Every structure is written in structure tokens, then in C-alpha cells.
Chain A
Amino acid sequence: MQIIENSKVKEKLYIEKLENGLTIMIIPKKGIQKKYIIWGTNYGSNDSTFIVPGENQITEVPKGVAHFLEHKMFEQENGRNSLDVLTSLGVSANAYTTNNHTAYLYECTDNFYEALDEFMDYVQHPYFTDENVEKEKGIIGQEIMMYDDYPEWKVYLNALECMYHKNPVKLDITGTIETISKIDKDILYKCYNTFYNPSNMAMVISGDFEPEKLLGEIKKRLIDKKANGEIKRIFEEEPKEIVKEKAEQNMEVSKPLYTIGVKDVPPEEKEKVKKHIALEILLNILIGASSELYKKLYDIGNSYSVPSIEYEFDKNYAHILINGQSNNPEELFEMLKKQINKFIQEGINEEEAERTKKMIYGEYIKEYNDVIDISRMFLSDYFKGINSFDYLEEIEAINVEYLNQVLKDVFNEKKMILSVIKN
């Protein structure tokens, strides 16, 4: 295996791409009881229009298939449910679906290899019937309704709808009650066979392991499957402009929730990590806990908690999200725009940039405390074409000139939107 060592956080990554295309990453943690494994496919809610390798015609499936598949993978032909089997072994198993990947995982202290038998077996052996597919519609229906009662989720989705004309990132990961009603077992098999090929998957493990031995154990449990060709994913061209500046919805909340979005273009391949770090620094300087703007908002009673800030990106979308609760989101939106203009004109203060860099460096280091955080981070970065260690390496080189450049490029008033949920 190839070994990549990071001297800052003092951790090693063992990585290998197998012949069938599967990438395996191991981050050993000596002395930790907890073991964590996560196996993901680069297939999420966004991938509903694609060309199956070897075919010519386009396949289009209902929204929500990736998530539906995730639910259905646990059911086995012998009538057992793998989630039950894993739970019986004293391991804690789960799965989740995002816009660009689906992941299966478990956490344990003992019985790692017994659990690995079941885990690798069920992910490689789907079993769908008309009956078990129908039954799941009731459960997922309740999951969709549960999210309907989460104002945090609604305010986020409405923000994406303001930004995107075509890109499916704006849609609910679960699909809707209507789209999932159209899902049947043939659709599930087709998507499974297309996307659950080893060449489209990656596995990350962290815990007290001997990497070569673990790799051998994993290889033993892989069924014989050849790497398939490239899956062509089809996305309609997304205009650079936003759809609309504002969205508002009424729900029973004590105080308005807002999401401010800034639509961006997907970062250049070489610049992904650098730009991500720069935006984290900029957003903290703009509206973070020690910012001038946050102090003002606090003093006038507009906001009493620091907004959360995030830069989400993939190959075909990128945006900034600023979330929080405010007594007057409109006022906050206008104040933020003014502050951005002020920073663009005056430039970023060097001392502030250095202090914020220190803070962000510390936050990156903290990610390495827990085997779960480590594994999830390496997996999701991998599907974006990033080695997580790069964040620790690239932060040092970020200077005020670069920050000012990114600030000017990204924070364009015409690309900003405001989504609000209020009573």
C-alpha cells in the first residue's frame, strides 16, 4: 500500500487501488478501542440521469432512488435483515445518502471481522422484491414527512431553489412521496448494477489496525467483479445567474430562520482546496464570532448566535451557505452586503487573516480526534478528488492577496439570495 504521512497532525494514510477499481484507505489509530468502517459509492441523489457503461441510450430514473436503495440494501434473500444481524453482533451499523454519495458503515469495539463478513456480503448482494419495495414506501414516506416538519431543512431547500435552475442539488435527497411511488425493483437493480461497481466505490477504515493484514481480510471478502467503464452522468447546463433573490415560507417557528446563499462556479481542479480554505477564512472574518458585523447584529438584537457557514461544492455546482436565526433576516442580508462591499474596497486586514488562519488550522487538527470524523472526512473528500491532508498543507500558503482575489470573484451581490422561514 502507498503510505502518505502528515507531519502536522502526525497521522498516516495507507491507500491502495485494487485491480477491480475499488479504492481502500486505512488510517490506523493505535490504542483506540473503537473501529469504524465506511463503504461508499459515488452515487447520490443528484445522479438520476445517466448512461449505463456499454449502452448508448440515456436512462432517467425517478428522484429518490439512491436513498431508496440505501434503505433496501439491508434486506437479504435468506429473509434476514443485515442491520439486525450486525446489531446482534454488538456493532452499531447505519447508512446515509447525500447529493453525491451513498455510504454504509458500522462502528464497533469487538467482532470487527465477524461484522465485516455480513457487511461486505450485504453491500455486494442486493435482494429486491415487489413486496419489500412496496413496504419501504410507507417508511420512507414517514421519513419525508419528518423532514417536512424541520424548518432547518426547508429553509435550506428553498435557498437552493433560489440559486439553481436545473441542477438537481436543489431537490430533496429522499425524493417526494410522488416520485418514490414510481420506484420498483427493476429500477433499483438497474441503479445498483450501474453504480455499485467497485470502480465507482471507496472504503475507509480507521481504528487500531495493522493495515496490510486488514487489506488482506477485505480482499478475501470481495466477490469477483470486473471494473466497468465510465458512467456518463448527464446534467443540464446550469446558468450562472440565480433564479430569484428571495424565498419566504411560513411555518410555526418562534423566530425567523434564514439561509443566505452565494452562488458560485465550481472551483478549478487545482484550486479546490485552496479556495475552500480561503472561503472559510473570509466567511469567518465577515460574519464569524469575533467579526465587527456579528457584534453589530448582537447589539441591535438582530441575532444572538453566530451563523453557521459552509462552502458546498462538487464538479457541477458550488455555493456558500450562511445559516442562522434572526429577528430580522432582511436587515441582516442588507448589512452583510454592505460589509462585503466595505471589505472589497478596503481589503482584508492581515492581522485578522493570520488569526483566523490559526483558528481554522486548529479546527482541522480537531477533526482527527475521532475515527468516525476521520473516516467520513476522507471518504467525502475522496469523492471530490481531494486527499484530506491537503487542507493542513495548503493553509499556510494562503495570503491576503489571494483572499482579496477570492473575495472579489465570489461575493457578487447579484449572486446572493435570501431564504426565510417565519411565522
Chain B
Amino acid sequence: MEYNEIDIKNGIRLHSINTQKFKTNLISVILTTKLDKENVTKNALIPVILRRGTANLKTQEEINKKLEEMYGASLDCGLDKTADNQVLKFYIESVNDEFLPHNDENMLKQSLENIFEVVFNPYLENNYFKKEYVEQEKENLKQIIEGKIDNKARYALDRCIEEMYKDQPYGLYKYGYVEDLKNIDEKNLYEYYCELIKKCKIDIFVSGILDDKIEDLVKNNENINKLNERNPEYIMPDIKPKKSDQENVVQESMEVNQGKLIIGLDLSLDNEDLRYDAMIYNSILGGSANSKLFQNVREKASLAYTASSTYYRFKNNILINCGIEIENYEKTLEIIKQQLEDMKRGNFTDEEVENAKQGIIAAIKSIDDEQDTEITYFFGQELSNNKLDIDAYMERVNKVNKQNVIDIANKISINTIYFLKN
């Protein structure tokens, strides 16, 4: 694997990953802009409007037929919240020429042209987005937003984060808000899109069997060529001490058979480097089948099937997640709090620390075995401007010891306890 970065223009960066491991080429165009209430819903609409038609392929049927013709290339778009940014992602995955019946298809070039066309050259009518597309996608988005109740476990998690970040950017729902939709039309949305494309951070990732022509292929593309230089407007993840004085307890009722208990923890870190210690802490607390939560809530007390925790490294939070009988709320909470307490007191072994490290290192080692994981990894580094190659990353994880983990445990406080019941 060979990784290269080059600025096509100020604020527009090409990341090329030359790898022989895959049957496919994966290209990703990522637009990053700061999260705010005013634009969150518009940002959610942009990718789906762009997917509807381009200047040359005016309808989604035409786009889809083109993709089918390209041996089932897939073109997806998605939304993420990363630190206090809203991230608009576009992907195209296509089979490498080497595995096609005719190897003169130039699939990489075709894929680049297609994805740039979708993102930067939308279909317009009377100089704006097509009205019909905007109205349909508003309705579609409305249904997606209303659909957040469908997956109860996911809903509980989102609600806990919303409670933890009330009136702050990270508390915003990434798909936006139904009440904002009525003020959006094909004109103001297109005007917003032009602003976004002018100012946002643009990252282009190309992974596959590449040669040195890749840079020119991107640079000389007319849709890339027409983009302006910029000082991109986005938020670098920062690290600041935070400690909640009081546990915020929230309970909600819905038609559920199983209660969903989510506990949001704050990590008060004052130094970037502590994130590696926090990863190990999380792994011991609830990151694996050996973890305290899995062992004590599930295996010993038989209270849950799901009992785990996840570390949100860009925001320094850990979210604990359990699906339990509703009547077992108090009992489960008590066991979980006991685990947090045990971590503080150092009631875990060096062996547990070593095991956690091994698990994390195995995951790091296989980063370049998956194209999308590798892109996500490099993008995370890009955003935090913390360039660490895979070996250095592993070395840093390897340095963590038990005392480091205890120190982390003592920087942790419960922010919110959220329970979804019937």
C-alpha cells in the first residue's frame, strides 16, 4: 500500500491509496462543513438532490442505467457528524478492469468522471435545482427524519446524545428537522449549494490499482478544474476538560418490549495523547466479550443480550448501551455504576490491559484490508490534522499501562442516563 496526499488547490486535497488487495476501485468525495442549526437540514438534502440528476444524466434512471452498464458500479451518498462538522460523503465503487471480460473499459476514469459529475455538475432547470426533485426529496427526508423512531436502539442512542449536547452543534440530528423543510425551495437550496461548494473542505480519496496518472486524471477533470481555491470553513476537533456535576436522568416511553438503557459519559481530557488511554479504558469497560459490562451485566447477572460501550474519540464521550427488561432498570444501573467504580479503583488486571491492546492492535493492523475503513481512517487523521501512520499508531497504543487507564477512569463522570421504556 502506498499513500499520497496532494493539494489540487488550496482547500481541495487528493488522497491516493495505491493498493493491489482489492477487486475494486473505491473513490470518495467528502465535503466537510461546520454543523449548525441553520444549515443542518439543507446539508442533509444536498446529497440526495445531487443523486437525482446531473447536467448530462438528467434523471436517476439514467444515472442508474449508466452504473449498471459499468458492471454494477455503486454510487452512494451519506451523512456523518464528525466532531462539530457535518460531513457529506459520496462514494463510487467499481470493478477493476483486471477482472472484467474486456479489460479496456477504463473503469477508474469512468468512475472519477461520474462521481465528479454528480457532486459538482448538478442538473438545473431555469438556473436552479429542478423543483420537482427538491419537493420529492423534501418529502423523502421528512420521512427519514420521522423514521428515527423505527430503530429503537439507535433512537435511544441519538436521544441520549441530544440530551448531552442540548443547544450545542453536536446535539443536532444529522438529518435535520421537519420544521425547517417548509422554508427550503429549489432556489435557496441551490444558492446554498453554491456557497457550500465554494467554501467547504473538499477531500477526494481514490483507492485501488493506481498509476502515476491519477493526479492528472483528477486535476484535468473539468468539474474539478472549475472549483475555486478556499480556506475551508470547518471545525478542527479540540480537546477540553469537561466534567458534569450532576447526572441528568431522562426517561421516555414508547411501544417497546425491551427497555433501552443508554448512559453517556464525559471524559475530561486535557491532552490529545490521552485518547489512546481512553481507547483501552473503553475496551476494558465494554468494548469486547471480555469486558466488565459484558461479563457482569450479561454473563453473570443474565440481565441483557446487548451490553457494551463505544468511545467517541472526536467528542471524548463513552456511550454505554444495554437492552434489558424494564423492571431491571435499577438493578442494571447499579451493576454498571459498580463497574465504573471498579475501574477507578484499579480493580482490573494488567492482563486485561494487555488483552485490550491486542484487540485494538489487531483492528489497526487490518485497517488496510478494507477500502472504506482505510479511507475513514485517513479522513479522521485529515480532519484532526494528526498524521500518524499505522505503525506509529500501534506503537502508541502499545505504550498504555494500567496506571494510565486508572487515570482515565478518574477523569470520567456520568453526564446523562437515558432510559427508553414502555
Within 8 A of B (CB), among A61-88: 81, 83-84, 87-88
Contact A355 B65 (CB under 8 A): yes
Which single residue of chain B is at the shortest CB-CB distance from A84?
B290
Asked if A301 is at the interface (CB within 8 A of a chain B CB), the reply is yes
Flag B320-341 by CB within 8 Å of A: 1 or 0 each: 0001110000000000000000
* CB-based contact A254/B143 at 8 Å: yes
Q: B67-75, B120-128, B243-251, B375-383: which one contacts chain A?
A: B67-75
Stretch at the interface among A213-221, A269-277, A366-374: A366-374
Are B68 and A254 in contact, with the CB atoms below 8 A? no
B410 within 8 A of A: no
Which of A141-149, A187-195, A238-246, A383-391 faces chain B? Answer: A141-149
Chain A residues contacting B67 (CB-CB under 8 Å) are 289, 359
Verify B305–A146 contact, CB threshold 8 A: yes
CB distance from B194 to the nearest CB of A (A): 26
B366 touches A359 (CB 8 A): no
Hey, which chain A residues are within 8 Å of B303, CB to CB? 138, 142
Cα(A83)–Cα(B60), bound, Å: 47
Q: Is B185 an interface residue (CB 8 A)?
A: no
* B189 contacts A by Cβ under 8 Å: no
Query: Is A10 a contact partner of B98 (Cβ separation < 8 A)?
Result: yes
Contact in complex: B23, A9 (CB < 8 Å): yes
Nearest neighbor of A11 in chain B, beta-carbon distance:
B23
How far is the CB of B105 from the nearest CB of chain A, in Å?
Answer: 10
Q: Is B288 an interface residue (CB 8 A)?
A: yes
Give the interface size bracket for A toward B: 35 or more
Contact of B68 among A110, A327, A355, A369 (CB under 8 A): A355
B68 adjacent to A368 (CB under 8 Å):
no
A360 interface residue (CB < 8 Å to B): yes
Q: Is the CB of B68 within 8 A of A83?
A: no
Contact yes or no, B370 A356, CB < 8 A: no
Cα–Cα, bound, A356→B16 (Å): 31
Contacting pair B355 A90 (CB below 8 A): yes
Partner of B71, one of A109, A135, A358: A358
Closest A residue to B260 using CB positions: A149
Contact between B255 and A33 (Cβ–Cβ < 8 Å)? no
Stretch at the interface among B145-153, B232-240, B264-272, B311-319: B145-153
Chain B proximity of A169: nearest CB distance (Å)? 23
Q: Collect the chain A residues with CB atoms within 8 Å of residue B94's CB.
A: 362
Contact across chains for A148 and B258 when beta carbons are under 8 A apart: yes
Q: Which of B67, B68, B256, B355 is most buried by chain A, counting CB atoms within 10 A of its CB?
A: B68
| Interface Cβ pair total, 8 Å cutoff | 169
Q: Are B370 and A33 in contact (CB under 8 A)?
A: no
Closest to B304 in A: A142
Cβ-based interface call for A31 (8 A): yes
Residue among A8, A32, A84, A368 with the most chain B CB within 10 A? Answer: A84
* CB <8 Å contact, A361 and B368: no
**Beta-carbon contact of B146 and A252 below 8 Å:** no
Q: Known interface pairs A10-B99, A365-B23, A369-B23. Does A151 touch B71 (Cβ–Cβ under 8 Å)?
A: no
B7 on the A face (CB < 8 A): no
Provide the bound-state CA to CA distance between A176 and B299, in Å.
20
| CB neighbours of A290 from chain B (8 A) | 61, 64-65, 68
Q: Quick check: B150 and A254 within 8 Å, CB to CB?
A: yes
B71 and A362 form a contact (CB under 8 A): yes
Is B196's beta carbon under 8 Å from chain A?
A: no
Would you call B149 and A32 a contact (CB within 8 A)? Answer: no
Contacts of A90 in B (CB 8 A): 355, 358-359, 361-362
Q: Is A402 an interface residue (CB 8 A)?
A: no
A83 with B289: CB separation less than 8 A: yes
| Interchain CB contact under 8 A, A304 and B140 | yes
Q: Is the CB of A362 within 8 A of B290?
A: no
Instruction: Write out, one digit per residue, whether chain B residues 45-63 have a CB within 8 A of any chain A CB (1) or not (0).
Output: 0000000000000011100
The reply to whether A149 and B21 contact each other, CB–CB distance below 8 Å, is no
Complex contact B366–A33 (CB within 8 A):
yes
Closest partner residue, chain A, to B135 (CB atom): A301
> Which residue of the partner chain, among B298, B323, B324, B371, contacts A369 with CB atoms under 8 Å?
B371
Collect the chain B residues with CB atoms within 8 Å of residue A359's CB: 67-68, 71-72
- Indicate with 1 or 0, residue by residue over A22-40, a CB within 8 angstroms of chain B CB atoms: 0000000001111000000
Q: In the bound complex, do residue A87 and residue B21 qualify as a contact, i.e. CB atoms below 8 Å apart?
A: no
Q: Is A363 at the interface (CB under 8 A from chain B)?
A: yes
Report Cα–Cα, A135/B255, bound state, in Å: 28
Decide: A363 and B72 in contact? CB cutoff 8 A. yes
Kindly state the separation between the CA atoms of A369 and B70 in the bound complex, as whole angstroms.
18
A91 at interface (Cβ–Cβ under 8 A)? Answer: yes
Bound Cα distance from A9 to B22, whole angstroms: 11
Which chain B positions have C-beta within 8 A of A91? 362
Kindly state whether residue B110 has any CB partner on chain A within 8 Å: no
- Interface 0/1 of B337-369, CB less than 8 Å to A: 000000000000001000100110110011011
Residues of B within 8 A of A298 (CB): 60, 136
- In the assembled complex, the CB of A292 is this many whole angstroms from the nearest CB of chain B, namely 8
B71 touches A138 (CB 8 A): no
B84 at interface by CB-CB < 8 Å: no
Check if B72 sits within 8 Å of A89, measured CB to CB. no
- Quick check: A87 and B143 within 8 Å, CB to CB? no
Chain A residues 227 to 254 lying within 8 A of chain B, measured CB to CB, are: 251-254
| Whole-angstrom CA separation of A307 from B80 in the bound complex | 24
Verify if A255 is at the interface (C-beta below 8 Å from B).
yes
Q: Name the residue on B nearest A140 (C-beta).
A: B305
Q: A366 touching B93 by the CB < 8 A rule?
A: yes
Q: Say if the beta carbon of B282 comes within 8 Å of chain A.
A: no
Shortest C-beta distance, A379 to chain B (Å), equals 20
- Does A149 lie within 8 Å of B325, measured CB to CB? no
Contact B290 A143 (CB under 8 A): no
Contact A88 B351 (CB under 8 A): yes
| A100 CB, nearest partner CB in chain B, Å | 23
Residues A251 and B68 in contact in the complex (CB < 8 Å), given A33-B369, A87-B355, A90-B358: no
| Bound CA–CA A110/B357 (angstroms) | 13
Interface set, chain A 184-227, CB cutoff 8 A to B: none
B228 to chain A, nearest CB (A): 34
For B325, list chain A residues within 8 Å (CB): 142, 145
B98: chain A residues at CB < 8 Å are: 10
Known contacts A81-B299, A369-B23, A362 near B146 by CB under 8 Å = no
Residue A108 CB within 8 A of the other chain = yes
Known interface pairs A10-B98, A81-B299, A355-B65. Does A87 touch B359 (Cβ–Cβ under 8 Å)? yes
| B196 CB → nearest A CB, Å | 23
Residues of chain A within 8 A of B61, CB atoms compared:
290, 295
A-B contacts besides A8-B101, A90-B362, 6 pairs, CB < 8 Å: A83-B289, A84-B290, A136-B302, A145-B323, A146-B305, A358-B71
A contact set with B: CB distance below 8 Å: 8-10, 31-34, 81, 83-84, 87-93, 107-111, 135-136, 138-140, 142-143, 145-146, 148-151, 251-255, 289-290, 295, 298-299, 301, 304, 325, 327, 355-356, 358-363, 365-366, 368-371
Q: Jot down 24 A-B pairs with beta carbons below 8 A, ordered by A.
A: A32-B21, A33-B368, A88-B290, A88-B355, A88-B358, A93-B289, A110-B365, A138-B303, A142-B325, A143-B305, A148-B258, A252-B255, A254-B147, A254-B150, A290-B64, A295-B60, A298-B60, A299-B136, A304-B139, A359-B67, A366-B93, A366-B95, A369-B22, A370-B370
